[in-house]
Amino acid sequence: MSAPSVAVIVFPGSNCDRDIAVTLEAALGHAPQMVWHGDSSLPKVDLIAVPGGFSYGDYLRSGAMAANSPIMREVVAQAGRGVPVLGICNGFQVLTECGLLPGVLMRNASLKFICRDVDLRVERSDTVFTSGYGAGDVIRVPVAHHDGNYFTDPDTLKSLEDNGRVAFRYCAPDGAITDAANPNGSLANIAGILNETGNVLGMMPHPERLADPLLGGTDGAPMFTALAEAIAA
């Protein structure tokens, strides 16, 4: 059996592509492929990561220009075939802009850039992304964004809630969902959501930044370990 193949998409202005590449390499045992935004095709892959950063300098809207890069047409096609796609921070914004996930990431309610650790409650443990956790687990993960305020219309929010498509919520250390624990004003404290088929996850926090003891914590590591095991199976 061949080793699983992973692609990390790189845009002008990406600054977390190396972070996630290093984390994926630690989980997989080999380096992922770095794919330039201007490419129009992907190699055969088992997982696609759309990293954080400030693609195209966040001009127009965060993720809007990156969503129209040639490579994103192939990412959308691969997602439609069931390939897991993980979008983190700016990657989440790109996934909403290209239509793989519903809603929008607006300016933080404070109108300030936020860079600190937050607590997240794992809402589901039965997905390819979250099977390394238990439902209800509270994990500590960093955020670093100016436009992380998730919003959608009432019908879409109801659909997300009714169909278990909220993967993570901002919470207090004891797991309580409170306004005080919401760093950016996101609707229903949403920190990460899934698509209808569960193979696309977008989240604003950065699990790759707390996935090694040298980084000060390992709460993010189970996501990548579980992903590596799932795509190797």
Pair 149, 107: CB distance under 8 Å: yes
**104: Cβ contacts below 8 Å, ≥ 6 apart:** 96, 150, 151, 152
Tokens, residue 128: 């390819």
Q: How many domains does the chain have?
A: 1
Tokens, residue 60: 């127009």
Residue 17 within any structural domain of the chain = yes
Entry pTM: 0.96
Neighbours of 15 (CB within 10 A): 15
Catalytic residues: 89, 206, 208
Find the domain containing 164 and state its range. 6-232
The reported pLDDT for the residue numbered 1 is 57
Amino acid at 47: L
Residue 151 within any structural domain of the chain = yes
Residue 1 within any structural domain of the chain = no
Indicate which CATH number applies to the domain containing 182. Answer: 3.40.50.880
Instruction: Classify the C-alpha dihedral 181-137-173-118 as positive or negative.
Output: negative
- Which parts of the chain fold into alpha helices (H)? 17-28, 70-80, 90-97, 154-162, 221-232
Pair 47, 9: CB distance under 8 Å: no
The residue length of the chain stands at: 233
Pair 24, 17: CB distance under 8 Å: no
The reported pLDDT for the residue numbered 3 is 84
Could you tell me the strand order of the sheet in which 33-36 lies?
A: 33-36, 6-10, 47-50, 85-88, 200-203, 190-194, 166-171, 114-122, 138-145
- Tell me the pLDDT of the chain (233 aa) as tens digits: 578 899 999 998 888 999 999 999 999 999 999 999 988 899 899 999 999 988 877 777 788 888 899 999 999 999 999 999 999 999 999 999 999 999 999 999 999 999 999 999 999 999 999 999 999 999 999 999 999 999 999 999 999 999 999 999 999 999 999 999 999 999 999 999 999 999 999 999 999 999 999 999 999 999 999 999 999 98
Residue 183's closest CA among 215, 137, 135, 145?
145
The reported pLDDT for the residue numbered 58 is 75
Amino acid at 168: F
CA atoms within 13 A on the CB side of 212: 12
| 191/119 Cα distance (integer angstroms) | 10
Residue 22 within any structural domain of the chain = yes
Q: What's the chain's Rg over C-alpha atoms?
A: 16
Instruction: Classify the C-alpha dihedral 137-221-127-55 as positive or negative.
Output: positive
